[in-house]
Amino acid sequence: MSELDKSDNFFILNLSSDDDWINFGNNLGFDISKAYLKKIREYLKPVVKSVIVEYKYECKDYKNSYHNFYSKKFTEYNRKCSRAHFFNVEMDLENIWALDDKYKDNYIGYIVLRPLDRFSIGRTMLDPSLVGVKDATLFTCSNEVNLLGSTLQVQAFPFIGQDTDVTVCAHAAIWMILRYFSQKYNYYPEIKPFEIAQLTKDVSLGRLLPSKGLTMSQISEIIANYGMHPDLYIKNYSKANFDKILYYYIESGIPIIASVDNRHALAVFGHCTELNFQSLVEYDHKGFKYYNSADLINGFIVNDDNYLPYRYLLKKKIAGDKVSEYSHSEVDSFIAPLNEKIYLSAEEMETLALSVISDPNLGFKKHTKKFKDDKIILRMFLTSSRKYKHFRRRNPMYVGLEKFYIEQPMPRFIWVVEISTVDKYKEGKVIGEIIFDSTANKHDMFSFMYIHYPGFFLVNDRNEIGDAPSRFKVSEIALENITEYSIFISNLRRV
């Protein structure tokens, strides 16, 4: 029998037939639109085997909208939600009192269902590896859930649907990104939908509620008033490297709010894992020829609030499960929310890096002792110095070079330009890097802290502001001791 139990507070059901899914839709605690039920069923039917519906759930995000908006409407709205928890195995009734013992590895996650006639999908946390997402390198955060006395964990990127009153697509995308930050890092405050809507004071386009939409300028304002620093890019004014800059931020673990088709907002938080080496393009910067790892990516991972989470925004549109109706080329602008300690933007770092690597006195061609004739590929990203030192300790370089990185003080965030050959990159190896101080001014030509080419290691004393040669400690390493080493793997998760 599929229906296991029901009370005023819970409904527990194994989902093994279409009738079971109909039964699920009829027992949510209130009616939601058939279109949304169909959406949930089509998305989860391939993977879900059982569900526990938690009635009278006090959702902090919905309550925030309810108290500030819905409670003031003429129609009476329910104050409480339902929350549906999904598992990828059928349950036995006696085990529901020990969910964290019996089913913790089978917990897919949850969807909060709002008591709104339409747009019922509220806060949603679903593990991408358990809902059929493949070939994705993306960010997730951990969410702890209390259910029937058990504590369950889900690793997901937050998702929420717009409600078209308090929030539209832009608010939803902002919420997803800011909720990711507050779940992942405890120095970012948690913010709810109505609070997000209030963070813009620009009412020149009309009322903020009910919301008609947001401009990119208002989105920047919201990000800034939240306490982060928005960096705005419009494709028409950054054509040459718009896609690359977007990739650098994603590779850095910084989720992006992107506009597609000049009207719809997406949250971008990962990229396709499989690398397409056929798509590499050779660049030439003042005689230094190189490839860029940004060109290897087939597409990005996005949340589109018109659907359920995790969609592929591909360079070449194809039909397929979870493939976005938009292509990557339709991204016309984006905003990267940066931590306050990141002063050097991605395109400024890129400009400085290319200048250094092609410079007659500091450049790769002058100082490298190995791989001179190989095809060089560059990979650029931001990371915390703590993470980089930790990674390097576990993945050492040749002749103990990593110990200089580990020992030396660094700013909180660093830009890293990894240098490899195309062949070594395929093996997950690099041959050098240039590390930049993310708090540097773009006009500071010596904003690099380290330049490492095969057999050449330069340390720049960033506390020296003059031109004394002694600020640079330069060393060379014998050819026979030079080897490649592991590429930096960041906190992006592969599924």
Partner 1 sequence: MPILGIEKNPFLKTKSIFNSSDDVQKTRLELEKSTEARFKEIDRNKSLAIDESRKKYLD
Chain residues binding partner 1 by CB under 8 A are: 168-170, 205, 212-217, 219-220, 232-234, 236-238, 259, 262-265, 286, 332-333, 347-348, 351-352, 355-356, 358-362, 367, 399-400, 403-404, 407, 442-443, 445-446, 457-459, 466-469, 471-478, 481
CA 423 to chain centre: 28
Q: What is the smallest separation between the CB atom of 177 and partner 1, expressed in angstroms?
A: 14
Quick one: which of 259, 18, 251 has its CA closest to 137?
251
Shortest distance in whole angstroms from residue 163 CB to partner 1: 13
Looking at the Cβ atoms of 162 and 421, the one nearer to partner 1 is 162
Minimum CB distance to partner 1 smaller for 30 or for 404 = 404
HSE, side-chain direction, 13 A CA sphere, residue 251 = 27
Query: CB of residue 440 vs partner 1: minimum separation in angstroms?
Result: 13
DSSP string, 294-355: GGGB-EEEEE-TTSSS-EEEESS----TTB-SS-GGGEEEEEEEE-TT--S-HHHHHHHHHH
Residue bearing tokens 């058939």: 34
User: Are 377 and 420 in contact, with CB atoms under 8 Å apart?
Assistant: yes
Q: Is 61 exposed, middle or buried (0-12, 13-18, 19+ CB in 10 A)?
A: buried
Smaller CB separation from partner 1, 48 or 353: 353
Residues in the chain: 495
Place of tokens 């913790």: 104
Residues 6+ apart with CB under 8 A from 120: 32, 33, 36, 113, 114, 161
The C-alpha atoms of residue 4 and residue 439 are separated, in whole angstroms, by 58
Closer of 54 and 350 to partner 1 (Cβ): 350
Would you say 34 or 263 has its CB closer to partner 1? 263
Cα distances from 58 to residues 63, 66, 109, 176, 311, in angstroms, run: 7, 11, 17, 19, 29
Find the shortest distance in angstroms from Cβ 353 to partner 1: 10
From residue 352, how far is each of 245, 344, 349, 437 by CA, in Å? 14, 10, 5, 11
Least Å distance, CB 415 to partner 1, is: 15
Whether the bond between 193 and the residue before it is cis, its omega within 30 degrees of 0, is no
Q: How far is the CB of 480 from partner 1 (least distance, A)?
A: 10
**Shortest gap between Cβ of 436 and partner 1 (angstroms)?**
13
Residue 226 CB, nearest distance to partner 1 (Å)? 17
Q: Which is nearer to partner 1, 280 or 477 (CB)?
A: 477
Q: Give 403 or 429: the residue with its C-beta nearer to partner 1.
A: 403
Residues 11 and 27 sit within 8 Å (Cβ to Cβ): yes
- The span from the CA of 314 to the CA of 329, in Å, is 9
Task: Give the C-alpha distances (Å, rounded to integers) separating 146 from 54, 55, 57, 158.
Answer: 11, 14, 12, 17
Contacts of 18 (CB under 8 A, 6+ apart): none
**Residue 20 Cβ vs partner 1, minimum distance, rounded to whole Å:** 37
> Toward partner 1, which CB reaches closer, 169 or 417?
169
Pick between residue 82 and residue 345 the one whose CB is nearest to partner 1. 345
- The nearer residue to partner 1, 102 or 442, going by C-beta atoms, is 442
Distance, CA of 396 to chain centre:
27
Which residue type occupies 378? L
Residue closer to partner 1 by CB (options 112, 172) is 172
Q: CB of residue 481 vs partner 1: minimum separation in angstroms?
A: 6
In whole angstroms, the minimum distance from the beta carbon of 70 to partner 1 comes to: 20
